């Protein structure tokens, strides 16, 4: 039986690539370079299955270039906002993703950032490394305690709830804004307070953490006007999508000390970082590490394998993504 041609746009964990080679006719991106639009279009033109990642813009032009053989786009990642899902669907191309494997890792990263900013961990590390630390002092490098503070979660899906569970262990009070209110049993278990109006929640929170997807409705959800609602002693954490926050407005507030600090693992124009952030000492900048564990990336690859194998065997893949029509 002729094996389907599977083109992978970035390097994946070695065990995943090896298994793909066993099952399919795989074309790997050996040097792990970021494919440009022309390369992605060429891949779509000759592949039976395309395996892109969040760094690949599979827009209308790439979909239009897809050859008659391309029947599956098996995305390595949960978010599919970089893929023209509706265009693919209209052309008879199935799209899949890799849900339910990033929750724990992203929640762990969120908690790390949630602690890093109030306790000034990055500032302290830089001070020691630069040889400028002159010893302990009663008022040196004072931060802010997180225990007893109010945490406002924007988005309360799997990751938001996992963060809430962890934050409760640190003695934080859980509040959330979500498109739909959670079942009372979940609210009770998390001791969570629901706010149907985000503008009312924001000025009452000590820490705000973003966990909503990128959609047209959430683009700059935290606009300049909403960011201005935050308390001067509030902290902001984002491990979701950079486009949710107006970065220029956030940088201005941080520079003017109108909010206490921020920690960002994602950016609007990745891998570019808004230059306004680079000179600020009250913002922690991470290179999109939310799911960057061996375990998570391997499990993502295994889901890609299952989706491809199921599809090739003539069955509906388990992680099919449908367009929002």
Q: Which of 120, 241, 243, 247 is catalytic?
A: 241
User: Active site includes 220?
Assistant: no
The secondary structure of residue 61, as a DSSP letter, is H
Residue 166 main-chain phi, psi, to 5 deg: -70, -40
- Measured CA to CA, the distance from residue 50 to residue 127 in angstroms comes to 46
User: Active site includes 243?
Assistant: no
Q: Which of 168, 231, 270, 320 is catalytic?
A: 270
Number of Cβ atoms within 10 Å of the Cβ of 232: 10
Residue 216, CB-side half-sphere exposure with 13 Å CA sphere: 1
Q: Which two tokens stand for residue 42?
A: 């060429």
CA distances from 85 to 77, 82, 101, 309, 324 (A): 14, 9, 21, 20, 8
| Of residues 42, 82, 41, 46, the one with CA closest to residue 63 | 41
Whether 29 and 52 have beta carbons less than 8 Å apart is answered as no
User: Active site includes 39?
Assistant: no
Residue 17 main-chain phi, psi, to 5 deg: -60, -40
| Of residues 97, 47, 39, the one with CA closest to residue 68 | 47
Residue 40's Cβ-count burial label (10 Å; 0-12, 13-18, 19+) is buried
Q: Which residues are marked as active site?
A: 241, 270, 288
């Amino acid at each position: 039986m002729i094996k389907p041609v599977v083109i992978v746009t970035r390097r994946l964990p070695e065990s995943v690539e090896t298994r793909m080679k066993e099952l399919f006719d795989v074309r790997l991106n050996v040097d792990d370079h970021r494919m440009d639009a022309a390369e992605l279009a060429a891949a779509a033109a000759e592949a039976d299955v395309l395996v892109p990642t969040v760094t690949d813009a599979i827009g209308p032009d790439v979909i239009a270039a897809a050859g008659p053989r391309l029947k599956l786009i098996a995305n390595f990642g949960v978010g599919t906002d970089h893929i023209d899902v509706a265009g693919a669907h209209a052309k008879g191309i199935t799209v899949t993703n890799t849900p339910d494997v990033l929750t724990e890792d992203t929640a762990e990263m969120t908690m790390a950032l949630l602690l890093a900013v109030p306790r000034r961990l990055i500032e302290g590390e830089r001070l020691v490394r630069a040889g400028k630390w002159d010893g302990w002092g009663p008022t040196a490098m004072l931060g802010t305690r997180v225990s007893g503070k109010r945490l406002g979660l924007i988005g309360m899906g799997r990751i938001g709830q996992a963060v809430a569970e962890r934050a409760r262990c640190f003695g934080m009070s859980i509040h959330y804004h979500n498109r739909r209110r959670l079942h009372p049993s979940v609210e009770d278990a998390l001791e969570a307070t629901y706010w149907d109006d985000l503008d009312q929640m924001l000025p009452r929170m000590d820490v705000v953490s973003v966990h909503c997807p990128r959609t047209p409705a959430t683009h700059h959800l935290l606009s300049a006007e909403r960011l201005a609602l935050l308390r001067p002693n509030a902290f902001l954490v984002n491990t979701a999508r950079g486009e949710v926050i107006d970065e220029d407005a956030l940088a201005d507030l941080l520079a003017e000390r109108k909010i206490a600090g921020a920690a960002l693992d994602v950016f609007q124009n990745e891998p570019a970082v808004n230059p306004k952030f680079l000179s600020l000492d009250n913002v922690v900048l991470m290179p999109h590490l939310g799911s960057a564990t061996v375990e998570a990336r391997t499990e993502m690859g295994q889901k890609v394998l299952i989706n491809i194998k199921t599809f090739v065997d003539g069955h509906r893949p388990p992680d099919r993504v449908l367009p929002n029509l």
